[in-house]
Chains A and B, each alone.
Chain A
Amino acid sequence: MNSTLTPQAVLDRAESLRPKLSSGFRDEIVKSLYAEVERITRRSVKIGPKKKWDFDQKIDRLVTSPVLGLLIMLLILMAVFWVTIVGANVPSGLIADFLFFIEEKAADLFTNIGFPWWVTGFLWHGVFRGLAWVIAVMLPPMAIFFPIFTILEDLGYLPRVAFNLDWLFKRVGAHGKQSLTMAMGFGCNAAGVISARVIDSPRERLIAILTNNFVPCNGRFPTIIMLATVFVAAAFPPLVASFVAAGTVLGVVLVGVFFTLLVSWGLSNTILKGEASAFTLELPPYRRPNIGQILYTSLIDRTIFVLWRAVQVAAPAGAIIWILGNIFVGDLSLAQHVADFLDPLGILIGLDGVILLAYIIAIPANEIVVPTMMMVYMGVGMMTDIPDLGSLRALLVDGHGWTLLTAVNMMLFSLLHNPCATTVLTIYKETKSYKWTILGFVIPLALSFLVTFLVAAIVRLLGGG
């Protein structure tokens, strides 16, 4: 052993040799690695006849062709949404009926045993009802949407969508795969944020995470659909009303896409200017999906995972809602007091205090915005729904002075406002940075206030509202 060979000596020697390396030595290392891989492959892998490739190539030609390719893409996306929304209606109703039946019986039981009213109310009409509501609204669409989405992913079709749409995202400094994280966001923004992992370039991944919220998720869709049906479509004859409603929802989604692109562009040119970036997109061969695997990943990894996080935050929210609705100071409930306090701010942006209150309470889960709003409007002690659209319209327009401006602004606010608590938590887990988490919350919030304020101000200037 040479006694002078200390670790420091080795490091110093390495330091002195480094400048003599040619600039391409990394390329040479990778090249030799690949040469070795090729040598092993030649020895051990037999390549079969080339038939199968041709079939793949034919499909590729078809799904990326200028007219047909885009048409196929649109049809598939629309089919996924239609199946999700229509297919979820019945199970949602069944689950809600079942869980509310349990609530009613359990509350009766508690009353009969002799618990004070506030224990029964807090536990069953507060905590349990909040949970039940979130599960009933959230579970069925997710259980339908995620498996379908995973099948498309497994088939190998989704990377082709990213390939087709990249031109749009390239212009705003983002990655084509952001279209996939956005599509995932329709199911759940938290899942959309997680799915941004497929983007390997740090800057584009952050853009996808921070803008995912501008795609309305399953929890917000019912609100937008309800408003579109009750306020916009109601002004049209019944024959075209459902088309107008669908068109309005589509319009809201497009506004969301517009803001996604706008904010992506803004981010990539300001805050994210110096983050690392590269574009590559692998197009894997088409494969037959493994159904067992899909059911497992989409149910356990996505649905149950997202549901569990939502449940964790929905239970306390249910408790708070019940407390606000049942503690009275003077003649009014706490909820009413808070709503009155928020009213000026709400009016300023074309909404009202009750809507703002509902959005604050609904930070844990957007599903409970409308039931909370109804609770306060009707002055009852628990979250409520009005299934009949006619009486709903009567309550909002005649009872609480809603106009078309209120409805449009609430749609915009619902689309743009801050992400729910689950999504915020997920942003933190994915980025491990307070800075990005705070930005992910503040940017949408500021934008939602700004946009609704401008809409309200200009409509009022023009003499409407």
Chain B
Amino acid sequence: MNISIYLLLWLIPLVLLMMGVWFFRSGPGSRWLAGKKINQRQLLEDALKLIFNLQQDGRPPDKFRLAVELKLDLPAVQALIARLEAQELVVAQHGILSLTTEGQRWALQVIRAHRLWERYLADEARMPLEKIHSQANLREHHMTVEEVDSLDAALGYPARDPHGDPIPTAAGVLRDLKDRTPLNEMKPGQRGRITHLEDDTPLAYAQILAEGLYVGQLISVQENNRERVVLSDDSNQFVLAQAIAENVSVHLEAPKKTADPSIIPLGNLPSQLQAEIVHIDDRCQGYTRRRFLDLGLTPGTMIYPELENPFKDPRAYRLRGTLIALRHNQASYIWVRPLSNEIQ
């Protein structure tokens, strides 16, 4: 009896843990819950968004494409199209669908909400980039224009989402960004800044993120042949298959602009070594960036790691006479130039 109780004290957490795995994240339990939530309006908005995107890509939207992308059978798609036509959101000509003015306005509104939510989830909630798309898909629906406007204002009217796609303005203008050269069209020796990572194909996107590429990164092409594209950001080398590389777009820049090798992330600064803050990484936005600035982590400030805790992370840094602890992953967003003099 005694032994069985102590056994239990170990067993319960185990059972709870297993339940947790089932329900949390993308466990079958939570996926089942998410699936139940899809309803008619959501379907309508998804269809409008899809038709808009297909038109943008120059692919004619028809019922077969809708059926594939929305994972519906043909009768369901036909009913959906009938509803769209009845509400004068879509007109069909020879089976090709196109948005009416009202339909386009609505589609842009959904896209705006989606991309703003992606911005929010990446910057404020610091969710991993490969997860924000599906989460934003859940949040983009059932929003009034006022709600979207206040989200826009709260985020400081961002121009692009975290993948580099433009965010439509309140007036429904989708800024046309012409600074996109697909990576696989670049020649060896060309330099540029990554402006867009396509997230429509989740597998390719996850692989790009796993490589460590990000929007705003300065890269140069070293090799581009039928099998692969090799890039470098002056400290790391990235090897991508052609099928992956076509999902990365780059804004070409003059070759003279090279990254400064003496600049390192604050997280890698050796203990007790004085450094000067150069800039805060563009990937670090929103709440964390504001906190950094509030604490005085501005360019030109002197800083050095003073304390290490028993488990090495976080470290405490001395700047402007105060001691501030930062976790390693956050400190990696702050780029510093080490100075030669060591603090005694």
* CB-based contact A276/B124 at 8 Å: yes
Instruction: Please tell me if A279 contacts chain B, counting CB pairs below 8 Å.
Output: yes
In whole angstroms, what is the CA distance A67 to B309 when docked?
Answer: 11
Q: Which of B20-28, B92-100, B229-237 contacts A (4 or more CB under 8 A)?
A: B20-28
In whole angstroms, what is the CA distance A327 to B344 when docked?
Answer: 77
Instruction: Please tell me if B306 contacts chain A, counting CB pairs below 8 Å.
Output: yes
* CB-based contact B327/A279 at 8 Å: yes
Known A-B contacts A34-B298, A166-B327, A283-B307; A23 and B125 likewise in contact (beta carbons under 8 Å): no
Interface majority SS (helix, strand, loop, mixed), chain A = helix
Chain B 292-331 against A: per-residue CB contact (8 Å), 1 yes, 0 no?
1111101111000011111101101000001111110010
Please indicate the chain B residues that have their CB under 8 angstroms from the CB of A61 in the complex: 307
Of the residues B135, B295, B299, B301, contact of A27 by C-beta under 8 Å:
B299
19 pairs from A and B in contact (CB 8 Å cutoff): A27-B280, A27-B299, A30-B293, A64-B307, A64-B309, A69-B310, A270-B23, A273-B135, A274-B125, A274-B135, A277-B124, A278-B288, A281-B324, A283-B325, A285-B323, A404-B2, A405-B1, A408-B5, A459-B1
Tell me the B251-300 residues at the A interface (CB within 8 Å): 280, 282, 286-288, 290-296, 298-300
Tell me the A364-418 residues at the B interface (CB within 8 Å): 403-405, 408
Instruction: Please tell me if B203 contacts chain A, counting CB pairs below 8 Å.
Output: no
**Which A-chain residue is minimally distant from B138 (CB atoms)?**
A274
Tell me how far the C-beta of B279 lies from the nearest C-beta in chain A, rounded to whole angstroms.
8
- Please tell me the number of chain B residues within 8 Å of chain A, measured between CB atoms: 62
* CB-based contact A31/B298 at 8 Å: yes
Known A-B contacts A274-B125, A277-B287; A459 and B5 likewise in contact (beta carbons under 8 Å): yes
Known A-B contacts A27-B299, A276-B125, A464-B5; A258 and B313 likewise in contact (beta carbons under 8 Å): no
Tell me the A163-207 residues at the B interface (CB within 8 Å): 163-164, 166-167, 170, 176, 200-201, 203
Tell me how far the C-beta of B22 lies from the nearest C-beta in chain A, rounded to whole angstroms.
12
Instruction: Please tell me if B177 contacts chain A, counting CB pairs below 8 Å.
Output: no
Q: Which of A306-314, A426-434, A450-458 contacts B (4 or more CB under 8 A)?
A: A450-458
Please indicate the chain B residues that have their CB under 8 angstroms from the CB of A60 in the complex: 306-307, 316, 323
Of the residues B135, B156, B288, contact of A26 by C-beta under 8 Å:
B156
Chain B 16-43 against A: per-residue CB contact (8 Å), 1 yes, 0 no?
1100100111000010000000000000
Tell me the A268-312 residues at the B interface (CB within 8 Å): 269-270, 273-285
In whole angstroms, what is the CA distance A450 to B20 when docked?
Answer: 13
* CB-based contact A269/B125 at 8 Å: no
Please indicate the chain A residues that have their CB under 8 angstroms from the CB of B324 in the complex: 280-283
Known A-B contacts A166-B325, A166-B327; A66 and B310 likewise in contact (beta carbons under 8 Å): yes
In whole angstroms, what is the CA distance A3 to B292 when docked?
Answer: 43
Chain B 214-228 against A: per-residue CB contact (8 Å), 1 yes, 0 no?
000000000000000
* CB-based contact A266/B327 at 8 Å: no
Known A-B contacts A166-B314, A167-B309, A282-B323; A269 and B8 likewise in contact (beta carbons under 8 Å): no
Of the residues A26, A34, A235, A270, contact of B296 by C-beta under 8 Å:
A34
Instruction: Please tell me if B15 contacts chain A, counting CB pairs below 8 Å.
Output: yes
Instruction: Please tell me if B126 contacts chain A, counting CB pairs below 8 Å.
Output: yes
In whole angstroms, what is the CA distance A166 to B316 when docked?
Answer: 12
Tell me the A52-77 residues at the B interface (CB within 8 Å): 57, 60-61, 64-67, 69-70
The 5 residue pairs across chains A and B that have the minimum distance between CB atoms: A464-B1, A281-B325, A167-B311, A283-B323, A276-B124
Instruction: Please tell me if B44 contacts chain A, counting CB pairs below 8 Å.
Output: no
Please indicate the chain B residues that have their CB under 8 angstroms from the CB of A87 in the complex: none
Tell me how far the C-beta of B6 lies from the nearest C-beta in chain A, rounded to whole angstroms.
9
Of the residues B25, B296, B325, B326, contact of A269 by C-beta under 8 Å:
B25
**Which B-chain residue is minimally distant from A173 (CB atoms)?**
B126
In whole angstroms, what is the CA distance A33 to B134 when docked?
Answer: 39
Tell me how far the C-beta of A168 lies from the nearest C-beta in chain B, rounded to whole angstroms.
8
Tell me how far the C-beta of A451 lies from the nearest C-beta in chain B, rounded to whole angstroms.
5
In whole angstroms, what is the CA distance A166 to B288 when docked?
Answer: 17
Instruction: Please tell me if A462 contacts chain B, counting CB pairs below 8 Å.
Output: yes
Please indicate the chain B residues that have their CB under 8 angstroms from the CB of A273 in the complex: 125, 127, 135
**Which A-chain residue is minimally distant from B125 (CB atoms)?**
A274
* CB-based contact B322/A166 at 8 Å: no
Please indicate the chain B residues that have their CB under 8 angstroms from the CB of A65 in the complex: 310
Residue among A67, A450, A458 with the highest chain B CB neighbour number at 10 A = A458
In whole angstroms, what is the CA distance A246 to B333 when docked?
Answer: 46
Please indicate the chain A residues that have their CB under 8 angstroms from the CB of B300 in the complex: 31
Instruction: Please tell me if B11 contacts chain A, counting CB pairs below 8 Å.
Output: yes
* CB-based contact A31/B327 at 8 Å: no
Of the residues A27, A270, A464, contact of B298 by C-beta under 8 Å:
A27
Please indicate the chain B residues that have their CB under 8 angstroms from the CB of A163 in the complex: 307, 309, 314, 316, 325
Instruction: Please tell me if B80 contacts chain A, counting CB pairs below 8 Å.
Output: no
Please indicate the chain A residues that have their CB under 8 angstroms from the CB of B16 in the complex: 262, 450-451
Instruction: Please tell me if A114 contacts chain B, counting CB pairs below 8 Å.
Output: no
Other A-B pairs, 4, CB within 8 Å; known A273-B125, A280-B326, A403-B1: A34-B296, A166-B309, A281-B314, A464-B4
Q: Which residues of B contact A (CB under 8 A)?
A: 1-2, 4-5, 8-9, 11-13, 15-17, 20, 23-25, 30, 120-121, 124-127, 135, 139, 156-157, 159, 169, 175, 280, 282, 286-288, 290-296, 298-301, 306-311, 313-314, 316, 322-327, 330
Instruction: Please tell me if A155 contacts chain B, counting CB pairs below 8 Å.
Output: no
In whole angstroms, what is the CA distance A276 to B323 when docked?
Answer: 24
* CB-based contact B293/A279 at 8 Å: no
Tell me how far the C-beta of B21 lies from the nearest C-beta in chain A, rounded to whole angstroms.
10
Please indicate the chain B residues that have their CB under 8 angstroms from the CB of A285 in the complex: 323
* CB-based contact B293/A26 at 8 Å: yes
**Which B-chain residue is minimally distant from A61 (CB atoms)?**
B307
In whole angstroms, what is the CA distance A26 to B158 when docked?
Answer: 12
* CB-based contact B121/A274 at 8 Å: yes
* CB-based contact A277/B125 at 8 Å: yes
Please indicate the chain B residues that have their CB under 8 angstroms from the CB of A67 in the complex: 310
Tell me how far the C-beta of B273 lies from the nearest C-beta in chain A, rounded to whole angstroms.
16
In whole angstroms, what is the CA distance A255 to B301 when docked?
Answer: 45
* CB-based contact A451/B12 at 8 Å: yes
* CB-based contact B291/A200 at 8 Å: yes
* CB-based contact A31/B287 at 8 Å: no
Please indicate the chain B residues that have their CB under 8 angstroms from the CB of A247 in the complex: none
Please indicate the chain B residues that have their CB under 8 angstroms from the CB of A57 in the complex: 306
Instruction: Please tell me if A237 contacts chain B, counting CB pairs below 8 Å.
Output: no
Instruction: Please tell me if A18 contacts chain B, counting CB pairs below 8 Å.
Output: yes
Residue among B5, B126, B311, B313 with the highest chain A CB neighbour number at 10 A = B5
**Which A-chain residue is minimally distant from B322 (CB atoms)?**
A282
* CB-based contact A279/B5 at 8 Å: no
Of the residues A66, A69, A450, A465, contact of B1 by C-beta under 8 Å:
A465
Please indicate the chain A residues that have their CB under 8 angstroms from the CB of B124 in the complex: 276-277
Instruction: Please tell me if A7 contacts chain B, counting CB pairs below 8 Å.
Output: no
* CB-based contact B298/A458 at 8 Å: no
Instruction: Please tell me if A116 contacts chain B, counting CB pairs below 8 Å.
Output: no
In whole angstroms, what is the CA distance A285 to B307 when docked?
Answer: 13
Please indicate the chain B residues that have their CB under 8 angstroms from the CB of A66 in the complex: 310
Please indicate the chain A residues that have their CB under 8 angstroms from the CB of B30 in the complex: 270
In whole angstroms, what is the CA distance A450 to B17 when docked?
Answer: 13
Please indicate the chain B residues that have their CB under 8 angstroms from the CB of A30 in the complex: 293-294, 298
In whole angstroms, what is the CA distance A235 to B218 when docked?
Answer: 70
Chain A 222-247 against B: per-residue CB contact (8 Å), 1 yes, 0 no?
00000000000001000000000000
Please indicate the chain A residues that have their CB under 8 angstroms from the CB of B12 in the complex: 451, 454-455
Please indicate the chain A residues that have their CB under 8 angstroms from the CB of B24 in the complex: 266, 269-270
